[in-house]
Structure 1
Amino acid sequence: MSAQYDQIGDKTENWDVLPVRSGYMEGHTIFKVLGSVKGKSVLDLACGDGLYTRQFKERGATRVVGVDISEEMIRIAQQNEEAQPLGLEYHVSDVASMPSLGSFDLVTAVYLLHYASSPEHMLRMCRSIHAHLKPGGSFVTYAFNPDFSAKGPNSTRYGITMLAFPEAPRDGQAISAELHTKNPFTIHFSYWSRSTHEQALRAAGFHTITWQRPECSPEGLAKYGQAFWQDYIDNPHAVALRCEK
């Protein structure tokens, strides 16, 4: 996983403007599920260039730490921090073998668990996440939708296309998606079922696992209209999960 993002590098710098990744859909859903971060400590895993890491701090979080397996993505994140200092801390690490960075009120991960190479690898990720949460803390992640349908709507107008997605994917099957940014790029990951996600999370000690389909913000509906978003709402490529310690 680190190698592909090291190679993608600056191509990701404008992917947050894609309709599917904008604050209208992805960002709106993440913050709705997460709730207020004001006064809380946040560990942002798979932080990439720090898109959400910075937003957590701007929304009032106290200590905010970003972690990513890609040295190139962390280089870009640190570059952004130097240009506009917010007091953020960044580390390069595989979540499955991450050293202790402290205890946090919230752990977040936007696109992480589908990069697990096996159920055992996912379990190691989840155990590491659980270990970094304070008692009563929450883990909120945005992950590939296990219920995504190859037969459902899959329009490029949202900025992402699933490539040759099988009608009946099996656990661990290789999946690819193309992001239609100014400089398009492809990412590769693995398909994991709902049950595999939940087994790993529960084995790691989480309870009250809640799946949340993405929702469009009022601003997004006002700008584009319900008809524009409906195909994606009916068949989203990603969903949110909230897990309590």
Structure 2
Amino acid sequence: MTEQYDAIGARFEESKCTAAFSAADTFSLGRALGDVTGTPVLDLACGYGFNTRLLAERGARPLVGVDVSVEMIRLAQKYEARCPMGIDYVIADVADLPPLGRFDLATAVYLFNYASSRATLRAMFRSIRANLTGHGRLLAIVPRPTPFPEGNYEEFGLRILERVPGAEVPLIRQEFTTDPPTPLEDYEWPLADYELAATQAGFARVRWSPIRTPPPDAVRDETFWRRYRENPVSCLMTATGGDR
């Protein structure tokens, strides 16, 4: 699915900056990070570097962003050239990630839902674990099983179009509700599959947390965010390692 983000390009920025579900993801990740000053961090599926730059602002060092999309990394590097923050960006498939260092923290926002098979899913977690220190931590925003066709996320910035049955996992066809809409596809894994792949990769503990929502404002009041918490796009996965 590399090509879809190469094609989406800058249109992904619009969704990231305007969609309610993205605002909730960013808020949740920020609350979960804690103090990362001086912490070596690996940001996976970094896209155009939105979360990577947030990590840099919070003092993460050294900081490496990884994405499989050439276009996403080009955009991230464009931001880095305009306003240097000491971020290194790497084009790589997380399922076949080379040794990049020994990081205390890895972050991943919508990475594992692009695995088309359990073998690929396991490979992603193994590659991440291999780049973490013994007690390294993984924070991942992952999508919840899709409430389609009974429910949808349209008012939150994501429209589900179709669930296509597959040999191992359904394919979800959807679009960001930008103008015009931005199409994308991913796979609908049960949370139990993510957890199993993480433990098979050597993570000692996996914990799940509900998504958090930002404070209400004039655009999105508490009633709006209450509706979102009742039907969130995602949840937070925290996987921690043990001595190796």
- Structure 2 length normalisation: TM-score? 0.92
2:221 — aligned with what?
225
Map 1:118-137; keep pairs closer than 5 Å. 118-137=117-136
- Deviation string, structure 1 residues 123-167 (Cα, Å, up to 9, x no partner): 000000001111111001111113x4236642422111122348x
Give the C-alpha shift of residue 10 in structure 1.
Answer: 1.4
Give secondary structure in 2 for the equivalent of 1:164: strand
CA distance in structure 2 between the aligned counterparts of 1:228 and 1:58, rounded to whole angstroms: 29
- Deviation string, structure 1 residues 154-203 (Cα, Å, up to 9, x no partner): 2422111122348x998511112210124421110111112211111100
1:63 and 2:59 matched: no
Q: How many residues align?
A: 241
Give secondary structure in 2 for the equivalent of 1:201: helix
Higher mean C-alpha deviation, range 185-194 or range 157-166: 157-166
Gaps of 5+ in 2: none
Aligned partner letter, 2:16: D
- Deviation string, structure 1 residues 204-241 (Cα, Å, up to 9, x no partner): 001221111211122x3675222112222111111110
Q: Percent identity?
A: 37
Aligned partner letter, 2:204: H
CA contact (8 A) 1:38 1:60 kept: yes
Aligned partner letter, 1:163: L
Aligned partner letter, 2:109: V
CA distance in structure 1 between the aligned counterparts of 2:163 and 2:222, rounded to whole angstroms: 26
- Deviation string, structure 1 residues 40-91 (Cα, Å, up to 9, x no partner): 1110000000000011001111111000000011011101111111111001
- Structure 1 length normalisation: TM-score? 0.91
Gaps of 5+ in 1: none
Aligned partner letter, 2:157: G
With over 3 angstroms needed to count, the CA separation of the structure-2 counterparts of 1:22 and 1:116, relative to structure 1, is closer
CA contact (8 A) 1:11 1:184 kept: no
RMSD of aligned Cα (Å): 1.9
- Deviation string, structure 1 residues 81-113 (Cα, Å, up to 9, x no partner): 111111110010000111110010100111100
1:160 and 2:158 matched: yes
Structure 1 residue runs of 4 or more that deviate by more than 6 Å after TM superposition:
none
